[in-house]
Structure 1
């Protein structure tokens, strides 16, 4: 048996939509799992080192599904290829977990439903905001209740593009979360909730004209931006060049801008922002992925 899984990247914590809003993006992790006479994992393009088994989130996801089915991990060769950079706020962890649970389920002849797979993946990740867009694509609103993930999917405005400025340094999610204050004022929380609701309405209706105010985050961004050298220059450059909004992607350090025009100018301006901070970066213009995880099974 041979299973191939292709899973998109994602951006989450969209502005005011902390831990609940995400979008699938057109960068991908592809994993092939096939019968073999021994267990082995091969890392190809996109990996600068082999990942230890207990740190390999594809293996973690697949093992959880096999265990849920009462099965041990089969003898397989796993080949992994990616263009999603790790620890950059583009859903590399979630994409690996999703690939693992979907691949294992295909090996089990689709024993579990997609809803069950998404809930299991969210439990591993700890929150669903990256997992859901990696699994189903599009713009997603998600939440967890009693270990079950619930979500809605919206196809984004077809003209919307996502410009990512990826600096050449990592920002571990654990560090990014550690700087968040423990308490917030009632006014801050109410304003944040208003903006998040407005953001969902804007994206659901396709009216993206007011995304700038709707995406302004009062909670995570003020605490995290000092961990991202070049933040002010990159985001302000993006807006000056014509972006609709600009923010941290996920936990960072990637910065992302939403736009419908002047794409090359915005990309150049964002790159220059990091350059002015003496930081090398890779800037890409991405589309929304609306398919999510794709699984091909060969018997």
Structure 2
């Protein structure tokens, strides 16, 4: 397939949505692009400020994932010319590693002659990422509800559905990175029965509310006791925003993935205006520089273009 150049566009994503820890993901119209073709030697070109500091050699995640796919398909690993760009900031809780994994898998699979189905690529992406929510949203778009398989080698069970009409998110992106490993390290090993039951109820209500477009229930449904309270010390302003955002125009609020990005959902211009002013007061009060993005849900997932050389 050396005559092909494959261009893959992958949406950013959020995970957890409050109580849906490692189980609920949503895709956004904020994109990464991976271009890949077979070449005599491997090159990695990284475009744009969001990818600054990422390795531009064979240690790059894109190459590692692509090479792994060729090997798993029983093919010799070729030289690959890879070009990548991203609108989504890295290590901010918007699924940058999931987008890279999905993009590399889909592009390499195309160059390898499509030995794997999209579902099989999702299974591999989940194994590489360690949880299915971000990679599921990046792969399929929309809202994904999924769980890790009980046995190695089993397929990942998931349900995908379209986000409610009118749902948008105000993303508050603090001007600092937060590694997922660090954000996971602050979580306890053991939880009380009360907290577990609380989250089961809230995550179940959240999924039902999203599936039926019950935006009126999202504020209460997005409450969480498993990860957000413990990560609040790593993200200044998070506690105030989670507690008060619904009093200032938000339908619901959550830490995006492991953070530090915070999402406040809304459905009207007036809600957005109120929210923006509230968030600005909170973040300025903590002396935290941040940027604001308005995110629309993506309902398409990964998109592929093939160019013949």
TM-score, reference length from structure 1: 0.96
| Partner residue, 1:99 | 103
Counterparts of 2:292 and 2:7 in 1: how far apart (Å)? 28
Counterparts of 1:162 and 1:57 in 2: how far apart (Å)? 29
> Within the alignment, does 1:286 sit opposite 2:295 as a pair?
yes
Counterparts of 1:103 and 1:127 in 2: how far apart (Å)? 21
- Partner of 1:195, secondary structure, is helix
**Please, which of 115, 129, 141 is the counterpart of residue 125 of structure 1?**
129
Over 3 Å off, 4+ runs = 52-55, 233-238
Counterparts of 1:161 and 1:57 in 2: how far apart (Å)? 30
| Partner residue, 2:115 | 111
> Within the alignment, does 1:141 sit opposite 2:148 as a pair?
no
Q: Deviations over 1:18-61 (max 9, x none)?
A: 00001001111101112333210001113222425465222222
Q: Contact conserved, 2:43 with 2:57, CA < 8 A, in 1?
A: no
| Partner residue, 1:76 | 80
- Partner of 2:16, secondary structure, is strand
Q: Contact conserved, 2:219 with 2:246, CA < 8 A, in 1?
A: no
Q: Contact conserved, 1:89 with 1:253, CA < 8 A, in 2?
A: yes
> Within the alignment, does 1:193 sit opposite 2:209 as a pair?
no
| Partner residue, 1:11 | 14
Matched residue pairs, number? Answer: 299
Counterparts of 1:236 and 1:199 in 2: how far apart (Å)? 17
The 1:35/1:72 distance shift into structure 2, 3 A limit, reads same
**Please, which of 174, 184, 192 is the counterpart of residue 177 of structure 1?**
184
Matches within 5 A, 1:43-82: 43-45=46-48, 46-51=50-55, 53=57, 55-82=59-86
> Within the alignment, does 1:275 sit opposite 2:284 as a pair?
yes
The 1:55/1:238 distance shift into structure 2, 3 A limit, reads farther
Counterparts of 2:5 and 2:119 in 1: how far apart (Å)? 23
Most deviating of 147-156 and 227-236? 227-236
Q: Contact conserved, 1:238 with 1:246, CA < 8 A, in 2?
A: yes
**How far is 1:113 from its partner?**
0.5
Q: Which runs of 5+ in 1 are unaligned?
A: none
| Partner residue, 1:30 | 33
RMSD of aligned alpha carbons: 1.5
Q: Which runs of 5+ in 2 are unaligned?
A: none
Q: Contact conserved, 2:27 with 2:299, CA < 8 A, in 1?
A: yes
Q: Contact conserved, 1:234 with 1:271, CA < 8 A, in 2?
A: no
Q: Deviations over 1:122-168 (max 9, x none)?
A: 10101111110010000110112124212111101110001100000
The 1:185/1:272 distance shift into structure 2, 3 A limit, reads same
**How far is 1:269 from its partner?**
2.5
Most deviating of 208-217 and 51-60? 51-60
